[in-house]
Structure 1
Amino acid sequence: MNETKEMRLAAINNLIKFISERGRRFFYRERNRMTGEPQTAYLKLKNNRIYFVDAYTSKEVYAYSGYPHDGFSHGGTLWALVCDFSIFVRTGKSSNGKHGYGGLYSGDWGHGDEIQEEIINYAKEIGYLE
């Protein structure tokens, strides 16, 4: 894959936004704890490391495998997805499901089939899924 880390980061942030606008609206909060405003989570590069900026707490959480750090307001399945996103940004290789939850192909997200298929197709378009 020829894209830069920054390009992959932008692609994943677009995927996070895409997910946040559909179905169960993961990664989105109508009211951020700090600002009171709607916010969508995103990844950012800081000192060449990847951080997840939580939509509820606004905290930067180092996006590396292991138990989610203080400031992450979502569950373990979303943490696993964030870690897989981080691997993709770092390496350019699809890392779907490496953290034991089945990835975006899993049928356990609670969306309708049509919405899940939209998310999967978009993830394929940006190169996250094969």
Structure 2
Amino acid sequence: MNDINDLIKLIASIERLTFYSKENISGQSNQKAYVKFRTQLFFVDNYTGEDVYPYVLRRDPNGFSHGGNVWQMINSFREFIITGNCGELRDSKEIWAYSYNEGCMKIRNKGKEIGFVESNVYPYSFDE
């Protein structure tokens, strides 16, 4: 769980600042998303501040302020934390509009370092 939180912090700190809110709806400043255990694993949304249960079949989870691709990634984080099975960082260049070297590859390298993804090779790279 700590490794996934480190990955979330990285994503919150570069380029588009996904998982970061300068101010959330409660008026708190500099909020970053994270995962935590209560009685189950929860994703704490950076904008709403709410605990969101990351379960893939749920279409519009209460308290979740991101879109469908991020929802899929949060579910992949949950699966990795619970089972240790590798996850996916799909579409993290085009969908999130991160640059190749300064964004996408930093995220992919961190994902590989913690064992979240098997390879840091970006499937849509033009630099092969």
When normalised by structure 2's length, the TM-score is 0.84
2:78 equivalent among 74, 82, 86:
86
Q: Contact conserved, 1:94 with 1:128, CA < 8 A, in 2?
A: yes
**Deviation digits for residues 50-93 of structure 1, max 9, x if unmatched?**
11101111110001112241110111111110000000000011
Q: Secondary structure at the match of 2:110?
A: helix
Q: Contact conserved, 1:57 with 1:71, CA < 8 A, in 2?
A: yes
Structure 1: gaps spanning 5 or more residues: 1-8
**Deviation digits for residues 85-120 of structure 1, max 9, x if unmatched?**
0000000110226xxxx365x643210111101110
Higher helix proportion (structure 1 or 2):
1
1:95 equivalent among 87, 94, 110:
87
Q: Sequence identity of aligned pairs in percent? A: 35
**Deviation digits for residues 2-49 of structure 1, max 9, x if unmatched?**
xxxxxxx110000000111011110100001113311000001111x1
When normalised by structure 1's length, the TM-score is 0.83
Report what 2:67 is aligned to. 75
2:50 equivalent among 30, 38, 59:
59
Q: Contact conserved, 1:68 with 1:79, CA < 8 A, in 2?
A: no
Root-mean-square deviation over aligned CA pairs: 1.5
Which whole-Å CA distance do the structure 2 matches of 1:95 and 1:36 have between them? 31
Which whole-Å CA distance do the structure 2 matches of 1:42 and 1:126 have between them? 16
Report what 2:124 is aligned to. none
Aligned residue pairs total 116
Tell me: higher relative CO, structure 1 or 2? Use CA pairs within 8 A at least 6 residues apart: 1
